[in-house]
Structure 1
Amino acid sequence: MSRETDIRDRMVQVAQNLLQQTLEGRARWSTTDQEDAYLFSGSRSSVKIEFYEDHDEGSVCKMSLLNQRGTLVQALKTELIPPTGTGPYEPADWNEVLERLYDAARREALDIDDLLDSVLDDLSKDPPPKSKKNDDWPQPAKPTRAGKRVEEPDPWGPVLDDIEAKRRRASNFDEEPPF
């Protein structure tokens, strides 16, 4: 086994362990100054998981190992593996774990479960009674004629009608000279 393969396998193992611990609620993720990147801080290193669009590669999910100073030490990203013979490129074995880790880290860092619970709780409550203060506000008058609602004229109507008429006149091929 080559050193490169060994490091990649260990990065995959880190991703799998982080995913498991995140799903169990034992790994805490935080947001970063990048919108689609989340950070797990360990005692001597950190792991950043991010999602981005690459012009050449398409959608990429990347896990980066950072040292104490925040320097990138090693990275693992989703990729397509060339075929051994003929055939199409295949997704790498670790793509799914990286994508699941990104989703789990995002869910934990943004506190999505608590936000959803809050919205569902708010929706299950009875609406608050209208305050008398709001009931006393005057309502805008609606124009009526003989008990029927009358649409107010569009102040731009004549202008738009004139523009439309000019456009129709300009596109009449019968009036244009032949080329």
Structure 2
Amino acid sequence: MNKKVIAALVTIIVAAGVLTSWLVYHNQQTVPSGLINRGYQTVDARQSDNTMVNHLGISVALFFNKNSATINGFQPVGKKSYLGDSKLIKSNTRTAKDIYKALTGHSTYNTKDYLKLVSVNLGRAYVTQHKNKWTLKSKKLTLTFHKTADGNWATPDGTLWFPVKTK
């Protein structure tokens, strides 16, 4: 056979292999079936009878697809005092800093960043589940959730996350 024909065949075979592996990679499920098309959201502390369940300083929603995740940050939250007034939370926890960085690119809290919806596609997300714990890993964010005594999910800082329906 001619060297050009052999080179062309090798090129076609390599290209087909690369294309096939790319298609398999992008279609691979990395989120457990129980979390696909589901979401989790924090609550505003003002809505929870003064029980502090959101230590992030903002409302956050996390949504899952077959192999990706999206995080939304919106509305600064405050802690209601016994006098009825509300003081904004400025969280300094590791979880809050990681979420701020994923949403805005910097790990410091600024109320103005969250006066309107901030939505970030986390890209390819890997979720690993264990009995009472699951972990989300992406290039932009790693979050670990553990099951609380009342059956809800919480991040290490104590922020509770409740299931929400997606479209």
Q: Could you say which TM-score interval applies, normalised by the shorter chain?
A: under 0.3
Q: Which has the larger radius of gyration?
A: 1
Q: Which has the higher helix share?
A: 1
Q: Taking structure 2 as the reference length, what is the TM-score of the superposition?
A: 0.26
Q: Which has the higher strand share?
A: 2
RCO higher in structure (CA 8 A, sep ≥6)? 2
